[in-house]
């Protein structure tokens, strides 16, 4: 991505020898916007990031994995600020343009000696590092890196111009984004105002990262950051260019969000639940969210059991307006329930065949209105329990 450099190294924060410290460096101060966790237990980097982002600019992003720097009190704040100072001094950027993020175990102090030696090593790799180096350094229990690159064109007085955009994310467990995801960084060469970028990012987040879940837990460290370097020819200044930028940003964010759910801890299946025919927009969200978060639904998905009672029951307790006599339920295009009535064993067998796929689409039509919403989620397997039982070992 033009205007951005990357590095990722093993600094010794993790014991397994994997990369654990990454950096994004902007050629010039970039326009910046961010969305953070709504969890009231917030990590030190989130507290500082919420203050720093008010300027609407950022030039360097330091991310460590293996330690969340959360529930670490005033010392955690001091350590985060110290990390910022080291980055600023090492790379020659203003301290108030440095963002830090952390992910990993909650409650342990940062091993600052690893940052003292690791950040200078990042500088040694910044000219040769790749986005993959950074994307690898921010992982915890993830099985795969998550990198997306896309472009879109806008028409200007100077002719057609291209917007380039790249997204990188980490997330596998502790995923119930109540803002964004565990950690996600979106970079673009477009030139856009801070207010327009903030509005676009907030809207994109709500439609994508706020519509996924792995296990129903909102992280203490969730950060979604977007940096617009302005090194390209595309200037986002009118409604038409804003629409193109918005669509591109939402597409990148949805791709990243989908990869996170697909890589969910112990997951074997990716599921989309769509609610149709809700009486209100809020009802569509409530019903979709309740079904996506239901442990009983998720275990039935893993067992490839079309247990429609669990799905309709989750909708019934969601707080949304529902009428059991009006519900229609489909697995892909295969109907299982119509007007609140089970269609029989053959329909269930057909649905069970659908559930053998790695990706499943379920639609619940409430037939009470015109509103629709959807969530992406994954199943629960034995491996989810094993991964989290051993997480701190």
Q: Which of 270, 349, 275, 348 is nearest to 308 (CA)?
A: 348
Q: Are strands 334-338 and 183-188 parallel, antiparallel or unpaired?
A: unpaired
| Both structure tokens of 155 | 């028409």
**Catalytic-residue membership of 181:** yes
Give CA–CA dist 334/318, Å, rounded: 24
Determine the Cα angle at 149 with ends 11 and 183, to 5°.
45
The side-by-side arrangement of strands in the sheet containing 341-342 is 212-213, 371-378, 270-278, 359-365, 328-331, 334-338, 341-342
Helix (H, G, I), strand (E, B) or coil at 65: strand
Integer-rounded Cα radius of gyration of the chain: 22
Q: How many CB atoms within 10 Å of residue 333?
A: 8
Q: How many CB atoms within 10 Å of residue 393?
A: 4
Measured between alpha carbons, how far is residue 376 from residues 44, 261, 274, 275, 362 in Å? 29, 7, 9, 12, 10
**For residues 81 and 99, is the Cβ–Cβ distance under 8 A?**
no
Annotated catalytic residue within 72, 103, 136, 181 = 181
Determine the Cα angle at 224 with ends 6 and 207, to 5°.
130
Q: Under 8 Å CB-to-CB from 217, ≥6 apart: which residues?
A: 173, 174, 175, 176
Give CA–CA dist 316/370, Å, rounded: 18
Give the DSSP letter string of 282-346: HHHHHHHHHHHH-HHHHHHHHTT---HHHHHHHHHTTTS---GGG-EEEETTEEEEETTEE--HH
Q: Which residues are catalytic?
A: 181
């Amino acid at each position: 991505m033009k205007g951005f450099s990357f590095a990722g190294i093993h600094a010794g924060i993790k014991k397994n020898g994997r990369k654990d410290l990454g950096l994004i460096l902007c050629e010039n101060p970039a326009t910046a916007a961010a969305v953070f966790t709504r969890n009231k237990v917030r990590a030190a980097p989130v507290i500082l990031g919420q203050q720093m982002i008010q300027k609407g600019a950022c030039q360097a992003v330091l991310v460590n994995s293996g330690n969340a720097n959360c529930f670490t009190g005033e010392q955690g704040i001091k350590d985060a600020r110290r990390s910022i100072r080291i980055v600023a001094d090492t790379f020659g950027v203003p301290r108030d343009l440095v963002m830090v993020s952390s992910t990993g175990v909650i409650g342990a102090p940062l091993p600052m000696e690893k940052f003292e030696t690791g950040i200078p090593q990042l500088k040694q790799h910044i000219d040769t590092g790749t986005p993959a180096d950074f994307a690898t350094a921010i992982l915890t229990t993830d099985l795969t890196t998550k990198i997306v690159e896309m472009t879109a064109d806008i028409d200007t007085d100077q002719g057609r111009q291209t917007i380039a955009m790249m997204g990188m994310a980490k997330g596998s467990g502790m995923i119930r984004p109540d803002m964004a995801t565990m950690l996600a960084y979106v970079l673009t060469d477009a030139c856009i105002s801070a207010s327009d970028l903030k509005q676009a990012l907030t809207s994109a987040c709500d439609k994508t990262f706020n519509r996924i879940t792995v296990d129903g837990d909102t992280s203490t460290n969730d950060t979604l950051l977007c940096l617009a370097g302005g090194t390209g020819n595309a200037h986002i200044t009118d409604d038409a260019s804003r629409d193109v930028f918005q669509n591109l940003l939402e597409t990148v964010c949805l791709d990243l969000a989908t990869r996170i759910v697909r890589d969910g801890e112990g997951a074997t299946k990716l599921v989309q639940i769509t609610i149709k025919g809700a009486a209100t927009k809020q009802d569509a969200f409530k019903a979709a969210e309740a079904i996506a978060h239901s442990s009983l639904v998720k275990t039935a998905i893993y067992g490839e059991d079309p247990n429609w009672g669990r799905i309709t029951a989750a909708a019934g307790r969601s707080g949304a307006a529902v009428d059991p006599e009006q519900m229609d339920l489909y697995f892909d295009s295969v109907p299982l329930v119509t007007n609140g009535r089970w269609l029989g064993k053959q329909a269930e067998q057909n649905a069970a065949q659908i559930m053998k796929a790695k990706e499943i689409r379920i639609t619940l039509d409430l037939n009470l209105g015109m509103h629709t919403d959807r969530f992406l989620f994954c199943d629960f397997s034995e491996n989810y329990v094993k991964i989290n039982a051993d997480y701190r070992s």
